[in-house]
Structure 1
Amino acid sequence: MNEISPARRRQLKALAHHLDPVVAISANGLSDAVLKEIETALEAHELIKIRVFGDDREVRRRYLDEICRVTGAQAVQSIGKLLVVWRERAEEDEPASRPARRRSRSAAPLTKRAAQTLAEGGGPPKARRNAQKAAGKATSAPARPRRR
């Protein structure tokens, strides 16, 4: 795999800054289950942080080399007990589904029954106005008597 350019590495470090570790390597070391979990996380996220428990710097370095060799990922950063690795998604993968969007509160009701209830005068006043606007019925406030 190609080496990451310095500009790309800097960009990935910035993106990884706010990430939480998704995999932890404990005293049991780098088992097959841990490697499988790292593989799954890389498929889902491309850029991940891994926490390594233990004080030996050389062991952490070997873990990083082994992870990169087995998964085909690139080492972005190793700082303290955190490892940051990146692997570009394969092109044949389908793009991730878009996250669900939150509906605005002023949107038209979702069901016919709710729209009917609001149009008949049920529900809060603002919701009734919005339902009537959505139904094409322009509303106007009742005329006030003129003051003399």
Structure 2
Amino acid sequence: MLTGKQKRFLRAEAHHITPIFQVGKGGVNDNMTAQIAEALEVRELIKISILQNNEDDKHDVAKALAKGAKAELVQLIGHTVVLYKESKENKKIALPR
């Protein structure tokens, strides 16, 4: 579980990142969450955009993405989700205590 200070730090780090995944009309599926989990192992912090044609509630989509990838939901701002998961082999981000 992330503290408020750690979430603030991660939001600042994610500011300049561009979204690498998009959730469209099909919604969240197992294949997508598997790919997101792999991307998190490499990058630790990613952005995902929720397209306008997605019919699900954006809060539900964000929770489903975080749960499926076993990651922490850092932020949901507009239609952009920021996820963080500490990497086992490629640790790059040092979180504040």
Q: Indicate the TM-score class for this superposition, using the shorter chain for normalisation.
A: 0.7 to 0.9
Rounded Cα–Cα distance in structure 1 between residues aligned with 2:9 and 2:2: 11
Who is 2:6 aligned against?
A: 8
State which of 20, 28, 31 in structure 2 corresponds to 1:30.
28
Which runs of no fewer than 5 residues in structure 2 stay unpaired?
93-97
- Offset from partner CA, 1:101-142 (integer Å, 9 cap, x none): xxxxxxxxxxxxxxxxxxxxxxxxxxxxxxxxxxxxxxxxxx
Counterpart amino acid of residue 35 in structure 2:
E
More strand by share: 2
Structure 1, gaps ≥5 residues long: 97-148
Aligned residues: 92
Partner of 2:75: 77
Identity, in percent, stands at: 27
Of residues 52, 55, 77, the one that matches 1:54 is 52
SS in 2 for 1:24: strand
- TM-score for both structures, normalised by structure 1: 0.56
| Structure 1 vs Structure 2 CA RMSD | 2.1
Higher Cα Rg: structure 1 or 2? 1
Q: 1:5 to 1:57 in 2, by over 3 A?
A: farther
Structure 1 residue runs of 4 or more that deviate by more than 4 Å after TM superposition? 55-58
Length-normalised TM-score, structure 2: 0.83
Per-residue CA shift, 1:21-77, capped at 9, x if unaligned? 011111111122211221111111000000011377961111111122122111110
